[in-house]
Amino acid sequence: MTNRRPEAWCLLALGAVLLGATAYRFVARSEERMGLIESVWERLRGAPAPPGEGRRAAPAPSPPVEYEVEPLIGREYFPCLKAELGRAAKSIRVAMYLIDPGEGRDHPVNQLLDALAQARRRGVSVEVVVECPWEKKAPSLKRKNAAALDRLRRQGVSAVFDEPRHCLHDKLVVIDDRVVFIGNHNWTREALTIHDEVSARIVCRPADPRFGRYIGYIGAIGGEETEEGRKAMLQQFQKELLKRSQREAR
C-alpha cells in the first residue's frame, strides 16, 4: 500500500467536510422549500395554518335581524310614535311627505315637532327631510312643509327639503336604528285623528342601520332652502349691494 503524505490526508479530510456541509445545506433547503410548498397547498385547500403562523381572521358573519311588527290602525299611530320619540336615546331620523303644523301646543303635529325638539335638547341626533315639490307644483304642500322646517330649525333641529327633482313620498321614522314607523300616516291633524290610515311599528333585533342610512342619503342630496332662509339670503344680498354703492359714492 502506497504511503500517502500527511498533506494528502488533510486535503481529503477537508474535501469530505466541505462535501458534507454542501450536502446538508442542500437537503435542509430542499426540506424548507417542501415545507413552504406544503403550507401553501394546505392553505389553498382550506386547511388551518400551522400553529404560530399569523393569519388574518375572517370577518364574522352579521347576525340575522329579527323584526317584530305591530300594526297601527287609525289613531293608534300618534300616541305610540310620541311615546317612542320620548324614549329615543341616540338618533331620530324622519322622512315625511307632508308635515302640517297648526296653532297651539295641543295640535297633534305640534306635539310631534316639540317631541323632536325635546329629544334634540337632551342630546339626541335629530334629522328631518320633507318633500319639496318641483318648481311651482303643489304650492300648498311646499308652504306647509316650509313652516314645519322653520319651526324645527328655530329649535336647533337639522331639517331640510329633499331634492326638488325627486319625489319623497315616504312616511318613515327611524329611532335609534331599532324602532321603525312606516306606513300611510303623514303628519297632519287629519291623518293623525280622522282619516283611515294604517302604519306599522317595527322593532329590529339587533338594530338595523339600513333604514337610517336611506334617510341619510335623501338628506345628503341637498334641497332648496326654506322661505325664511331665502328671505334672509336676499336681505344679506341687499345689504352688500347697499354697502358697495355707498363706497363707490365716496
Residue 49: phi and psi, rounded to 5, are -70, 150
Residues 154-172 have a mean pLDDT of 90
Sign of the alpha-carbon torsion through 160, 166, 170, 174: negative
Burial of 208 (C-beta count, 10 Å sphere; 0-12/13-18/19+): middle
226 close to 143: Cβ distance less than 8 angstroms: no
The C-alpha angle 109, 165, 180, rounded to 5 degrees, equals: 40
pTM of the predicted protein model: 0.65
Residue 128: strand, helix, or coil: strand
**Residue with more model confidence, 11 or 26:** 11
Average pLDDT, the chain: 79
CB atoms within 10 A of CB 153: 16
* Percent over 90 (pLDDT), the chain: 51
Q: What cell was used for 118? A: 325635546
The model's pLDDT over 30-63, given as tens digits with 9 standing for 90+, comes to: 555 455 545 544 554 554 545 544 445 555 566 7
The model's pLDDT over 93-107, given as tens digits with 9 standing for 90+, comes to: 999 999 999 988 899
Q: How confident is the model at residue 20 (pLDDT cuts 50, 70, 90)?
A: low
159 close to 180: Cβ distance less than 8 angstroms: no
The model's pLDDT over 105-134, given as tens digits with 9 standing for 90+, comes to: 899 999 999 999 999 999 999 999 999 887
Q: How confident is the model at residue 164 (pLDDT cuts 50, 70, 90)?
A: confident
